[in-house]
Amino acid sequence: MALRELSSLEKYLELKKPNKYSTQGDKKVPVLQNNNGAPLVGLVTIARHLVKEAKRTELLGDSAESRAVVHQWLEYRVTRLNGCTKDDIKTILKELNLYLQDKSYLAENQLTLADILMYYGIQPLIVDLAVQEKEQYVNVTRWFDHMQHYPGVRRHLPPVVVLRNRIYTGRHH
């Protein structure tokens, strides 16, 4: 999973040479053998490295504040989203829905690495949602649909159908 994400990210960053990754431990933490130095371990660490390599550091945030926000969501991705239980899913979607109420992207007003990795991470949750639930977490769905249509981001993931109009407006059912 993480490896496919990294290779999708590489493609999005238009890195010429695909890297070779290995995994370590039960949780299959990705490892990148660096040519000139110690190996890099962990999804976020490697992802940040790839962004720097591609000279796209704006994806990590332009200001100190946004860098912090990006970092926070990357942490959220690996600590909260990875391996979450069914009960967690509801809380995560609720939290995210509230956060995205007045935002197009997770940080700043532009795409950052946080959006990409959160999109990859949350996709399996969104696929399983019923139409009514997608409507319930409407801000998440809007942001998600935006991400999956953002040029070059979707890559290895199948598209998820998202209705543009509300169908559960009433109080009935």
DSSP designation for 80: I
CA distance 96 to 110: 17
Q: Considering beta carbons, is residue 48 or 134 the nearer one to another protein?
A: 134
Q: Considering beta carbons, is residue 17 or 166 the nearer one to another protein?
A: 166
Query: Is 161 among the residues that bind another protein (CB under 8 A)?
Result: yes
Q: In the bound complex, what is the minimum distance in angstroms from residue 120's beta carbon to another protein? A: 19
Tokens 């700043």, residue located: 108
Q: Pick the stretch among 7-15, 52-60, 114-122, 157-165 that binds another protein (CB under 8 A).
A: 157-165
Task: Work out the burial of residue 7: count CB atoms within 10 Å of its CB; fewer than 13 is exposed, 13-18 middle, 19 or more buried.
Answer: middle
Query: Is 168 among the residues that bind another protein (CB under 8 A)?
Result: yes
Angstrom distances, CA of residue 11 to CA of 46, 135, 152:
14, 31, 8
Residue 90 burial (CB count, 10 A): 15
Query: Is 86 among the residues that bind another protein (CB under 8 A)?
Result: no
Query: Is 55 among the residues that bind another protein (CB under 8 A)?
Result: no
CA distance 81 to 90: 11
Query: Is 163 among the residues that bind another protein (CB under 8 A)?
Result: yes
Q: Considering beta carbons, is residue 62 or 135 the nearer one to another protein?
A: 135
Query: Which residues of the chain form contacts with another protein (CB under 8 A)?
Result: 130-132, 160-163, 165-168, 170-173
